[in-house]
């Protein structure tokens, strides 16, 4: 299950990478959920796992962007804090 989360995190970081080196995610979150085909497959409240996923997204190389056709993602990652999505 952790492999799926890591794969989804890396895939997401590639998809959302841009030219800016500013962090993409700056808020604190307390829940991370991974959905595949609209079905919840993983949820964690482990702050270390959440922080690691955010760190991977924020530190992914965004120096160059390429124009490419990407397929729709198979899943999505949702970060939640104690109040809202």
What does each of the 85 residues of the chain score in pLDDT, given as a tens digit?
777 776 677 666 666 555 456 777 888 899 999 998 889 999 999 999 999 999 888 887 655 555 556 667 778 888 998 765 4
Instruction: Tell whether 37 is covered by a domain.
Output: yes
Q: Residue 37 has what DSSP assignment? A: T
The reported pTM is 0.61
Residue 9 lies in a domain: yes
Domain that holds residue 61: 2-18+26-80
Total structural domains within the chain: 1
Evaluate whether 45 touches 84 at the Cβ level (below 8 Å). Answer: no
Which pLDDT does position 19 carry in this prediction? 46
| Angle value at C-alpha 29, between 26 and 35, nearest 5 degrees | 110
Is 43 inside any structural domain?
yes
85 inside domain: no
Q: Which residue stretches of 1-85 are H helix?
A: 2-15, 47-59
């Amino acid at each position: 299950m952790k492999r799926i989360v890591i794969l989804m995190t890396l895939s997401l970081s590639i998809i959302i990478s841009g030219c800016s080196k500013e962090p993409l995610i700056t808020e604190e979150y307390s829940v991370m959920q991974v959905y595949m085909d609209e079905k919840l497959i993983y949820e964690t409240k482990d702050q270390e796992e959440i922080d690691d996923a955010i760190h991977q997204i924020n530190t992914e190389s965004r120096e160059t962007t390429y124009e490419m056709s990407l397929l729709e993602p198979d899943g999505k990652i949702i970060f939640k804090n104690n109040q809202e999505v």
